[in-house]
Amino acid sequence: MTDTGCLPVVIVGAGFSGLGMAIELKRAGRYDFVVLEKAEEVGGTWWENTYPGCGCDIRSLLYSYSFEPKHDWSRMFAGQGEILDYLKGCADRYELWPYIRFGVEVTGVEFDDATESWQVFTADGETYPARAVVAGMGPLHQPRYPEIPGLERFRGTTFHSAQWDHGYDLAGKRVVVIGTGASAIQFVPRIADRVDHLTVFQRTPPWIVPQPDRRLSAAEHRLFRRFPSLQRAYRHLIYWEQEAMGLGFTRPRLIRSAQALARRHIRRQIPDPELRRKLTPDYTLGCKRVLVSSDYYPALTRPDVDLVTEPIAEVREHAVVTRDGTEYPVDAIIFGTGFHVTDKFDSAHIVGRNGYKIQDAWRDGMEAYLGVAVAGFPNLFLLLGPNSGLGHNSMVFMIEAQTRYILQCLETLDRSGGRSIEVRPDVQSTFNRRIQGRLKSAVWSAGGCVSWYLDENGVNRTIWPGSTVGYWLRTRRLRRGDYTYSHRP
């Protein structure tokens, strides 16, 4: 055991990632960790996002931990509340509550070169010494508000989809929604029949495919309970279906057939040719996240709902004004404008070895090794870090691969008797050169769209370019030689 061995591993965040890491440690018989969570509850994104209609567009039999199947999901695509309950159930089952400190917001982390350990600073002025830090804050966490001239003058109510104001009664109000991404297409159908009038401002139409949602029957629940292997087989089937979709992103012929399916979806649900035209994307499917919904288009056909594609010029006290001068009187504006993703570390206080700041490391764009480790930042591990996101499959699969990998890093460090483990800079840069080589010609860059997958230089810093099987294979066994180990006395 080393000096730092008696310090805990600090996990930041108690969402799918942080809880997954905590469970992985406990399952390995390691109890030397603490989870710091700024909210008063577990769940992360599934605690924070409570907008009407919030749910997962990956089927729940797959969007759950592989080692913790739930046999009685109420629907194919579970809603936010049920996913949150699932995560609370996991915290119960693995007895994680004593390890979690709620209401503790991490404001920064610094590596101490002398002791080769981390100092974790929190908003209430406390410092947690840590042997290692696992950052599980989630990639889609900081709400992004649009910069629209005059927004500060607006006298009505505004809120972001991730900070839904449930105290505000939308009934009888004139409501504007800005944005038509994954969140907006879920809440627009749920509020359309409550408001007096809804105006949806669309900048870029998303590709949307039908959502094959349905209730799971009591008989299915019984079957899954009695025959867990059946549920596992179903999960595998869904996994391979999703994986095939990812493969499709690299095959133009498959993309064309998926586009044909999505166009048919528009034709079936939108009778008005002008509305159809507005809703039909002009970029390649897959370039932005493909959305899944069967009730968004019908909501737009309501007489009290308008879809506006003219860009917004300004906001006045009681109206949104478009570039052509049309004024839309409004009581409330809801932002479905997404999150800071590639710029979210711009002001983060993460200081590694020899005072090396994350902003210096990522001057040319954020990068990591396998999305997990960053050279210059020993014993710091990211969950869902750069280029480990997916557009086609369950992020929980990636989280599990990463938590297993991080556990191996910690175990290897213990076995080596060392104090710190750090990815070699040459290994990290070779890895990133390779994946960027693959990404350059992939649909996310070459598909003719702008998305949050790309940074301000147009470089994809978010997506894993290969199959998830490929990622699993890469992370299954730690290559010892990819890292250096410090044995400072």
Q: What token pair was written down for 128?
A: 């947690």
Closest-CA residue to 487 (of 422, 420, 425): 420
Q: Does 340 bind ligand NAP (CB under 6 A)?
A: no
Binding to ligand NAP (CB under 6 A): which residues in 415-474? 452
Q: Does 336 bind ligand NAP (CB under 6 A)?
A: yes
Contact mark string toward ligand NAP, 169..188, x via CB under 6 A = ---------xxxxxxx----
Q: What token pair was written down for 29?
A: 């018989």
- Chain-centroid distance, C-alpha 217: 30
User: Could you give the CA distance from residue 136 to residue 144 in angstroms, rounded to a whole number?
Assistant: 19
User: If 0-12 CB within 10 Å is exposed, 13-18 middle and 19+ buried, where does residue 476 land?
Assistant: exposed
Count of residues touching ligand NAP (by CB under 6 A): 20
Contact mark string toward ligand NAP, 50..69, x via CB under 6 A = ------xx------------
Binds ligand NAP (CB under 6 A): choice among 115, 158, 204, 280: 204
Nearer to ligand NAP, 300 or 380 (CB): 300
Contact mark string toward ligand NAP, 133..152, x via CB under 6 A = -------x-----x------
Contact mark string toward ligand NAP, 370..409, x via CB under 6 A = ----------------------------------------
CA distances from 309 to 275, 286, 304, 331 (A): 10, 21, 17, 20
Q: Does 337 bind ligand NAP (CB under 6 A)?
A: yes
The DSSP H or E segment spanning 246 is helix 228-248
Nearer to ligand NAP, 156 or 336 (CB): 336
User: Could you give the CA distance from residue 51 to residue 41 in angstroms, rounded to a whole number?
Assistant: 17
Q: Smallest distance from the beta carbon of 274 to ligand NAP, in angstroms?
A: 20
Q: Smallest distance from the beta carbon of 63 to ligand NAP, in angstroms?
A: 8
**CA within 13 Å, CB half, 415:** 7
Q: Which value, in Å, is the radius of gyration of the alpha carbons in the chain? A: 23
**Other Cβ atoms closer than 10 A to 30:** 16
Nearer to ligand NAP, 57 or 343 (CB): 57
Binding to ligand NAP (CB under 6 A): which residues in 152-171? 161
Closest-CA residue to 444 (of 360, 475, 435): 435
Tell me if 297 sits within 8 A of 269, measured CB to CB: yes
Candidates 255-263, 294-302, 332-340, 417-425 — which segment interacts with ligand NAP by CB under 6 A? 332-340
Q: Does 47 bind ligand NAP (CB under 6 A)?
A: no
Q: Does 321 bind ligand NAP (CB under 6 A)?
A: no
Closest-CA residue to 207 (of 389, 374, 391, 45): 391
Residue ranges binding ligand NAP (CB under 6 A): 56-57, 140, 146, 161, 178-184, 203-204, 289, 336-339, 452
